[in-house]
A and B are shown apart, each in its own frame.
Chain A
Amino acid sequence: MDFAWLLQSLLNGLSIGSVYAVFALGYTLVFSILGIINFAHGAVFTLGAYLTYALAVGRFGINGLLSDLSLPLTLPFPAALLVGALLSGLAGMAVERLAFKPLRRRGADPLLALVSSLGVALIVVNLIQYLVGAEIYSFPSDIFGDLPMAVIFSVGGKPVAVRTIQIILFAASMVMLAGLGWFIGRTRGGKALRATAENADTASLLGISVNRFILGTFFISGLLGGLSGTLIGVSFGIAGPYFGVSYGLKGLAVIVLGGLGSIPGAVLGGLVIGLGEAFLPPDMSSYKEAVAFVLLFAILLVRPQGLLGGRLEQKV
């Protein structure tokens, strides 16, 4: 329990927690507009990581349909990240069209939307496996060009490492959060989005094209999902097509912890879970995957509306 360990854990927690926050915001945006959880978000996260990998590296492993294929050109990593995220946004729109819109038009039970989005997730994940196999993909270590892998400080005689990827994780997440905050709080489009979230019927009477804004929300949500997938993939490697499932579930813990539908809540929840995982004592590290879900239970017991959620209303 020395100071260097605390500092190292704080750094690790903040960088991974900020990615959790960006990822969880994708859930929050859709939830605040439709009141349902998009279970395909974890699949879009996975897709984003694979797309960026394809664009930046251009070659695949030995399994799957695309095994011998290599792309004619590859992009530098920042461009690949951006294009991968935009394509993930389009995938998010496809999820809305396939899994949510047909059900909304029929006025179906909201529980069904949950299952249909799980169905789409199943399709995406298995399609990835079919195309590129179930093997582990790691980004090459030279994707950041000449930047060093890590900078090591000495604190009280003990080393504290700041990995380059941690800085990139944190910086990219902060840029996304700031951009999103600006869009929702300061622009006309953001205002219309808030109106749609408040009451879709009234918004449509006031001339807001609700379906277009729902589609736009799914685009942003997919973009956030794909971006965070890439960041996690660069940081820890892509452990196969199912690697998004556990992050997808962790993202649910983040939004419940922060308060369902609350944007600041998702950010706070992400950081709390990231820090909670990082500050787990080393001898309990095998329980790391349970931290998020234990926190979820704890919050349901003591403050079910989440850290920043409003009072749970009882609508008739």
Chain B
Amino acid sequence: MSGFFENYGFLIVTIVQQALLGLSIYFPLMAGQLSLASIGFYSLGGYVAAIMGTHPYFAPWRAALGFFMFPLEWLFALILGVVLGIAVGYPALRLRGIYLALATIAFVQVVNVAVLNMPVAGGAVGIFGIPQAFESRLDYIWFFGPLFALAMFVVYRITAIGRGLAFFAVREDELAAGAMGVRTTANKVTAFVLGCALAAVTGAMSAPFLNTWNARQGTFDASVTCLAYVLIGGSRSLWGPLFGAALLVSLPEVLRPLKDSRMILNGVVLVAVCVYLPQGLMGGLAALRTRLAAGRGGVA
């Protein structure tokens, strides 16, 4: 068993880390809003942690706080995520349809150009030698694991209370929800900001995990990958992001012999899932279960 964790431990930690990004896209999707902003907030959260972890200005803080510097970084990233999330989400979410997706793509691009031009973020080279929280990278599961559990618990609880029902109402029919007195914009912004905050904190945890941080963490391609986790896993299931991340993170390992052509196959998987499994893996499983149950009960 210990051998298993030595071989696959890093893969498992990465899957949980990526699943967190998937979940951050799942939040706005609960209210029917497609956002590609997560990776921008992830990038910014990582820069917060990287700068607080390496910049001389924060040296006295680090000396005073020791290990507790890490939670402080998460807190700063969280605040940044919430404030920026409201600033980005509010103008775009007054509108219906595709506008949020477009505004968030713009946000990711602006963040990218901005960090490349900020001397404190290290330009194109980025920031190196971010202090480690643990000796072994596998131990980062103690960062990502609890955050993942917390995020899953929030999703699970939300679906059971009025707020979650309001999200689903907006997702199913925004106009009808509005007519029934649901404050559609406020609900959309709430769902969006939850995702932004989660992505920012995930970024702040990932900077020490990856040891270096640069603008390549926040590209458009990466945000598409996060979206793919959710849609391939199943955009209507709580477990979808985890399953999607598990599949897509391990796929390159499995397909390693294919080398250069494996990204082509990634695209093929994306198209095939959209066409043949429009509800994702979890949706496909549910449909299969229904069919099997119907078969046993003898109901045609």
Contact in complex: A115, B264 (CB < 8 Å): no
Number of A-B residue pairs, CB cutoff 8 Å, is 127
Contact in complex: A256, B99 (CB < 8 Å): yes
User: With A126-B267, A293-B106 given, is the CB distance from A300 to B91 under 8 Å?
Assistant: yes
**Smallest CB-CB separation from A284: which chain B residue?**
B117
Contact in complex: A109, B278 (CB < 8 Å): yes
Contact in complex: B224, A118 (CB < 8 Å): yes
List 5 A–B pairs whose Cβ atoms lie within 8 Å, in order of A's numbering: A99-B274, A119-B267, A123-B267, A256-B99, A297-B103
Whole-angstrom distance between the alpha carbons of A107 and B34 in the complex? 19
Chain A 91-109 against B: per-residue CB contact (8 Å), 1 yes, 0 no?
A: 0000000110011001011
Chain B 84-114 against A: per-residue CB contact (8 Å), 1 yes, 0 no?
A: 0000000110111011011101110110111
Contact in complex: B274, A112 (CB < 8 Å): yes
Whole-angstrom distance between the alpha carbons of A227 and B220 in the complex? 24
Whole-angstrom distance between the alpha carbons of A289 and B271 in the complex? 30
Contact in complex: B99, A103 (CB < 8 Å): no
Interface size in chain A (residues, C-beta < 8 A): 48
Partner-A contacts on B (CB < 8 A): 34, 91-92, 94-96, 98-99, 101-103, 105-107, 109-110, 112-114, 116-117, 175, 220-221, 224, 227-228, 231, 235, 260-261, 263-264, 266-271, 274-275, 278
Contact in complex: B102, A252 (CB < 8 Å): yes
Whole-angstrom distance between the alpha carbons of A26 and B103 in the complex? 20
Q: CB < 8 Å: which of A115, A126, A289, A290 contacts B228? A: A115
Q: Tell me the minimal C-beta distance from A95 to chain B in angstroms.
A: 10
Q: Tell me the minimal C-beta distance from A268 to chain B in angstroms.
A: 17
Residue of B114, B220, B235 ringed by the most chain A CB atoms within 10 A: B220
Whole-angstrom distance between the alpha carbons of A210 and B107 in the complex? 36
Contact in complex: B267, A122 (CB < 8 Å): yes
**Smallest CB-CB separation from A133: which chain B residue?**
B260
Contact in complex: B92, A300 (CB < 8 Å): yes
Q: CB < 8 Å: which of B34, B106, B264 contacts A253? A: B106
Whole-angstrom distance between the alpha carbons of A37 and B101 in the complex? 11
Residue of A99, A103, A118 ringed by the most chain B CB atoms within 10 A: A118
Contact in complex: A316, B175 (CB < 8 Å): yes
Residues of A within 8 A of B109 (CB): 246, 249, 289-290, 293
Whole-angstrom distance between the alpha carbons of A43 and B110 in the complex? 21
Residues of A within 8 A of B263 (CB): 122, 126, 129
Residues of B within 8 A of A287 (CB): 113, 117
